[in-house]
Amino acid sequence: MPLDTLHLQDRLTHLTLAPRTGGSIANWTVKDGGQALLRHADEGALQAGTPRQLGCYPLAPWSNRITEGGFDNPQGWLALEANADNSALPIHGSAWQQPWEVIEHSDDSALLRLESQTPFAYVAEQRIRLHEGRLDIQLQVTHMAEAPMWHGLGLHPYFPRTPATRLQARAGQVWNCDANSLPTQLSELPEHWDFNDERDLPTQHTDNAFIDWNGQARILQPDAGYALEISATGSDLYLLFCPERKPFFCFEPVSHPVNAHHLPGRPGLVLLHEGQSHSLTFSLQYRTLA
């Protein structure tokens, strides 16, 4: 069955959306030469029907893993079940596993919407726009259930990785994790995870959240002759995922740490009442390297 796709373009780049596959971006490429700016999704990945094989997908109404089978809200306990074959815990909310509708579409922009009842009623929207090599994503969730609930947001982009790929992204501390990628304690940045100045990506497996981020970052791809300048709002931490021996990595702007629903003070989560909204923005500017 052919995959429904939507195409955007500006003078420099071309973007393919897969709205019904979790509101995902399938590919973002440079027109001149076809360079992939997000991890390239080939025909097999497009037909697989999962955002995990595409370029970027939204995380709502929370990001990453939640323990203890759910979480507490002012009106009581919300029970959750595992929702992915590679995780024993519920992960990344529910927006990425539902089809989104196209509300507006022009040559360079689109508005996608999801009206969800899982695991509670909410409406999520993504406004996606290209302009002069800049990709802007605005993700917003509006709570629609009568009972208030804790919300969080994020985006899960996959970027190409070569031995020359470098990253610059300020942070104050990092969440150390156990073998299940669950946070254990905050610590100062070790040298191999100190991206306050530009450095190579870590060679060891990394799946950690970095706090006190200023919302600015830069990904350099010297082998391909370009850089991506990143800016974000609604996110003062990022999650860096670098699996070993894979040709990709993830730099995820998120509004809260992993398992924030069970951390003291629920850092980064927002309690929304019916009709209230929470948003996050993420921009990637393509620049050629001299």
Strands, DSSP E only, in 24-96?
A: 24-30, 56-59, 70-73, 76-79
Once rounded to an integer, what is the mean pLDDT over residues 17-41?
98
235 domain residue, yes or no: yes
Nearest CA to 95 out of 123, 131, 130 is that of 123
Tens-digit pLDDT profile for residues 42-85: 999 999 999 999 999 999 999 999 999 999 999 999 999 999 99
199 domain residue, yes or no: yes
**140: which strand partners?**
125, 279
pLDDT > 70 fraction of the chain, expressed in percent and rounded: 99
121 domain residue, yes or no: yes
pLDDT band at 148 (very low <50, low <70, confident <90, very high): very high
Give the domain CATH number at 186.
2.70.98.10
Q: Which domain holds residue 133?
A: 6-288
Tens-digit pLDDT profile for residues 82-130: 999 989 999 999 999 999 999 999 999 999 999 999 999 999 999 999 9
94 domain residue, yes or no: yes
pLDDT band at 1 (very low <50, low <70, confident <90, very high): very low
21 domain residue, yes or no: yes
**285 neighbors 220 (Cβ within 8 angstroms):** no
Work out the burial of residue 289: count CB atoms within 10 Å of its CB; fewer than 13 is exposed, 13-18 middle, 19 or more buried.
Answer: exposed
Pairing type for strands 101-105 and 109-116 reads antiparallel
Q: Looking at residue 4, what is its pLDDT?
A: 86
Phi, psi values for residue 48, rounded to 5°: -70, -25
Number of domains in the chain: 1
**278: which strand partners?**
141
**The pTM of the whole model exceeds 0.95:** yes
Pairing type for strands 70-73 and 56-59 reads unpaired
What is the distance, to the nearest Å, from the Cα of residue 238 to the centroid of all Cα atoms in its chain? 9
1 domain residue, yes or no: no
Q: 131 is written with which tokens?
A: 């302009």
Helix residue ranges per DSSP H, the chain: 43-48
Q: 195 is written with which tokens?
A: 């991206």
